[in-house]
Amino acid sequence: MFPNWFRRKRSSADFEAEIEAHLQLEADALAEQGIAGEQARTAAHRAFGNPARAKERFWESTHWVGLDSFWRDVRYATRCLRKTPGFTLTAIITLAVAIAANAVVFGALNAVILRPLDVPQPQSLYALQPRLNDTSLHMSYPDYLDFLRRNRSFQGLAAFNLTEAGVNSGTQAAEVWLTEVTGNYFDVLGIHPLLGRLLHASDEHGVNGVPGVVLSYAYWHSRFRNDPGVIGRTLLLDRHPFTIIGVTPRGFRGTIMFFRSQLFVPLLDAPQFEGVNQFQARAKPWLFFGAMGHLKPGVSRAAAVADLNAIGAELNKSYPREESPYSFSLKRPSLYGDFLGRPVRAFLGALMLLAALILLAACANLGSLFAARASDRAREVAMRLALGAGRLRVMRQLFTEALLVALAGGGIGLGCSVMLLQLLSRWRPLPQFPINLPVSPDAHVYEMALGLAILSGILFAAAPIRKVLRTEPYAVVKAGVGETRRAASKIRQTLLALQIAICALLITASLVAVRGLARTVHGHFGIAPQNAMLVTTDLTMAGYPPAAMPAMQKRMLAAVHAMPGVQAVGLTDWVPLGNEGWKDEPVFRDSAADRRTSQEAADATVLKISPGYLRAAGTALLAGRDLAWSDDAGAARVALVNQKFARQLFGSTAAAMGQHYRLQDGTRIEVAGVVENGKYNSLTETQEPAMFLPLLQWPSTSSVMVVRSARNPQALVRALKQRLRQLDPGLPSLVQTWNQAMSGPLFASRIAASALGLLGFMGAILSLTGIFGLAASAVGKRRRELGIRMALGALPRQLLRAALGPVLRLLAIGSTAGLVLGILAARVLGAVVYKATPRDPLVMAGVVAAMALIGSVAMWVPARRALEIRPAALLRED
């Protein structure tokens, strides 16, 4: 009774062989009866009937649900898809865009947040974030030592600081970032050397005691070409000899996600690079990365926090003047605590949400595309049902088509995202820093993208299923395609209107950002970056003792000033709107007796400048005099202040002249002149008070030379480098235009503009396919009605209004909503992009033009199809 499940299926070849054998035997039998060879064969064939029919019946009996029918489905689906290239391409592109967006965002999320650091047991490694309101991990060295020695919760606590140094090899000088680590750093992290040995706590022999340097794998690879003989060689760092003692393993790049550590030196050698010894300064939290370590087994996070806070309270009691209250929390080290962690998580979370919305919109579009296609093909489906195809069979066919589209779209999307992620990994957003985003895709990303593609394929294939299940072949063939149900199409329309609104919002936002960016480049911020060059040198790196610096700086200025084409030149310790961090200090009224920070008259941005800087930087002097070379260490302390400073302390520019104010340490300073306001740290900051102190009275180890010249920048860069080499061949220098250096403050605007632009583009594509899908199905469903209208003499314009009017209305409503939302969202944009406002006629016109373009591209084909309806042909068809 039961079929034999386990017996191997008989092959059709075997069956054919049997038929052949039969024909042979039959011919033999006939030959015996005296019929000649060829005739016998023909007779045998005749008696047999149609062998193909027999084979077919055999095939049907054995291949009931075999793989063959799957391949037949695939082949048939491919043929169907190829017959409608417009539909297929639209569907594939839509899905590719959505999958690419999701894969890129997920790739970043995966790399930055989900993937743990490449160190042993990353799950128990925590960074100590000392305070609630300050998200950085800064700590002073004495505090670090106290927490290291007194805590009972961690297996060990390591700290490090980041600093820049000059590496000297013979004639060439280059800048490199040092990670100054405590002796126990590698042991706390559990890192073992690839080559040589790493630093240990036992290596700490007092300040500047151990001149040993550990290379990162990347530095060893790029600089020494994996030469194993480097161990024991000497590297000149800021002209101090350091012995190379080891190389870290390949995967290790430090404990901060974006920052690629290049060289590791002992923290106790820091004074050689910083110029100051701050190991005793309890009030100076100069350690960039305070402390991190593995929790002891069995110690909970809460217990560790309580332990640390108790130590903090003791320190507060012992050193009330230096310490401010501690309130610890434990964070992941990879994103530098909450400082990067919070914005990065928020940013990526928002992006993931947006990507998910894009996928949802794409699925909705694809669903409506497939539904439109199903109603276009209702006749075909009905025919197949009438000819005896099972509904299951027809549905399987539709699913196969959807899956093919899903796989093609998913594949293309994944390919694009892999390329984008690799590009992102290689990207160096700020060339001065060894920063990159290690977001190369891994297996998780591939799995996610393909999973999403297949899932969405199943989803959008499911849309027309009910329609297929309800198809009454007889009714369809007799009466043509019926009306779809109203409710479903209402939902589709709402979804599309929402999509158009989001698209218009994104386009508005990106146009606003681009306009803001353009304004920024041509704006005036109290400096004139055009035609200005920045020469960054660090005399400490070149080994100059502090006493010799002013003389050398003067020589450099004189040398550059003598160069042809140089209009003005000046020095400053840092550049407004450059990438280096800005400095500010509290200032007090002359009469103030209490000079605690809480009593400050202003928190002023501080620049230390040489004479000539104002002219070189293009900052206008409004009153008083410029600084002079005579304002040196021996003369009375003077300063220039900006208008905001003058108004805040003295009431007005005029009132400020000749007045005095004090710094926190009591130094009394006379206002020698007032300069115009400007932006110093970021373009979107509110106006800050600022003071300009003479460099000769306040020596600084780092200095940037601002060179104003109308000469060709490239030629000028070469000439400047040559001139500096003549002065001192061992002086590392970075020459760039001021506009290049402004990439930092422009960074946020640029990122915002490009991210919004990309999202706007995706939104545009999705709206395009959505409108196309709706318009196409609107025309497809109403062909009969349109044909009748045409037959009754409707003009093309009237016909189009009838066919596409609802879609056009949707487009208008969506675009208007998007534009209004964009205007409402301007405040958010204003925080990132300078002077961002959508109330700009150019932006408004741009949005309207973009939406009109999208609409007309999307409706072009459906409109043509509506106009090409031939009533006579339609009558014959139905």
Which residues are near other proteins by CB under 8 A?
1-4, 10, 15, 17-19, 21-22, 24-26, 28-29, 47-51, 53-54, 57-58, 61-62
18 vs 380, beta carbon nearer other proteins: 18
Compute the Cα dihedral for 524, 529, 530, 531 and give only its sign.
positive
Tokens of residue 138, six digits: 């800064």
**Min. distance of Cβ 447 from other proteins in angstroms?**
42
Beta strands in 417-524 (DSSP E): none
**Min. distance of Cβ 477 from other proteins in angstroms?**
17
**Min. distance of Cβ 118 from other proteins in angstroms?**
60
> Which residues make Cβ contacts (< 8 Å) with residue 576, sequence separation at least 6?
525, 526, 527, 582, 607, 617, 678, 679, 680, 681
5 vs 714, beta carbon nearer other proteins: 5
Q: How far apart are CA 656 and CA 604, in angstroms?
A: 15
Tally the C-alpha atoms within 13 A of residue 678's C-alpha that lie toward its C-beta: 29
**Min. distance of Cβ 32 from other proteins in angstroms?**
9
Cα–Cα separations (whole angstroms), residue 579 to 516, 582, 752, 839: 20, 9, 18, 31
Burial class from Cβ neighbours inside 10 Å (0-12, 13-18, 19+) for residue 232 reads exposed
Inter-residue contact 803 to 779 (CB < 8 Å): yes
Inter-residue contact 762 to 594 (CB < 8 Å): no
**Min. distance of Cβ 45 from other proteins in angstroms?**
9
Looking only at the bridges linking them, the beta strands covering 621-624 and 584-589 are unpaired
Inter-residue contact 512 to 826 (CB < 8 Å): yes
**Min. distance of Cβ 48 from other proteins in angstroms?**
4
64 vs 591, beta carbon nearer other proteins: 64
Q: How far apart are CA 462 and CA 465, in angstroms?
A: 5
**Min. distance of Cβ 382 from other proteins in angstroms?**
18
**Min. distance of Cβ 384 from other proteins in angstroms?**
17
Q: How far apart are CA 204 and CA 190, in angstroms?
A: 18
Helices (H) then strands (E): counts for the chain:
29, 21
20 vs 442, beta carbon nearer other proteins: 20
Tally the C-alpha atoms within 13 A of residue 251's C-alpha that lie toward its C-beta: 7
2 vs 594, beta carbon nearer other proteins: 2
Tokens of residue 395, six digits: 């549905």
Phi-psi sector, 760: left (phi>0), alpha (psi -120 to 50), beta:
alpha
Q: How far apart are CA 645 and CA 650, in angstroms?
A: 8
Place of tokens 């009691």: 317
Q: How far apart are CA 385 and CA 376, in angstroms?
A: 16
Which residues on neighbouring strands pair with residue 5, listed in sequence order? none
Q: How far apart are CA 279 and CA 315, in angstroms?
A: 17
61 vs 234, beta carbon nearer other proteins: 61
33 vs 171, beta carbon nearer other proteins: 33
63 vs 250, beta carbon nearer other proteins: 63
52 vs 302, beta carbon nearer other proteins: 52
Proportion of the chain in helix, strand, coil states, percent, rounded to 5:
55, 15, 30
- 875 sits in which H/E element: helix 871-877
29 vs 849, beta carbon nearer other proteins: 29
25 vs 824, beta carbon nearer other proteins: 25
49 vs 206, beta carbon nearer other proteins: 49
Tokens of residue 301, six digits: 């996070």
Looking only at the bridges linking them, the beta strands covering 638-642 and 733-737 are unpaired
**Min. distance of Cβ 116 from other proteins in angstroms?**
58
**Min. distance of Cβ 395 from other proteins in angstroms?**
24
Phi and psi at residue 364, to the nearest 5°: -60, -45
58 vs 433, beta carbon nearer other proteins: 58
**Min. distance of Cβ 472 from other proteins in angstroms?**
19
The three-state DSSP-derived secondary structure of 192-220 is CCCEECCCCHHHCCCCCCCCEEEECHHHH
54 vs 861, beta carbon nearer other proteins: 54
Phi and psi at residue 237, to the nearest 5°: -110, 120
Q: How far apart are CA 543 and CA 267, in angstroms?
A: 19
> Which residues make Cβ contacts (< 8 Å) with residue 845, sequence separation at least 6?
none
**Min. distance of Cβ 47 from other proteins in angstroms?**
5
**Min. distance of Cβ 57 from other proteins in angstroms?**
4
11 vs 494, beta carbon nearer other proteins: 11
**Min. distance of Cβ 24 from other proteins in angstroms?**
6
Residue 354: other Cβ atoms inside 10 A: 19
Inter-residue contact 163 to 178 (CB < 8 Å): yes
Phi and psi at residue 478, to the nearest 5°: -75, -45
Question: Which residue intervals of 7-140 are DSSP H helices?
Answer: 12-32, 37-48, 51-62, 67-83, 85-109
7 vs 317, beta carbon nearer other proteins: 7
**Min. distance of Cβ 27 from other proteins in angstroms?**
10
32 vs 868, beta carbon nearer other proteins: 32
Q: Spell 727-763 as b/e; 16+ CB within 10 A means b.
A: ebebbbbbbbbbbbbbbbbbebbbebbebbbebbebb
**Min. distance of Cβ 464 from other proteins in angstroms?**
29
Which residues on neighbouring strands pair with residue 781, listed in sequence order? none
**Min. distance of Cβ 6 from other proteins in angstroms?**
12
47 vs 654, beta carbon nearer other proteins: 47
Tokens of residue 84, six digits: 């409608």
Burial class from Cβ neighbours inside 10 Å (0-12, 13-18, 19+) for residue 198 reads buried
**Min. distance of Cβ 51 from other proteins in angstroms?**
6
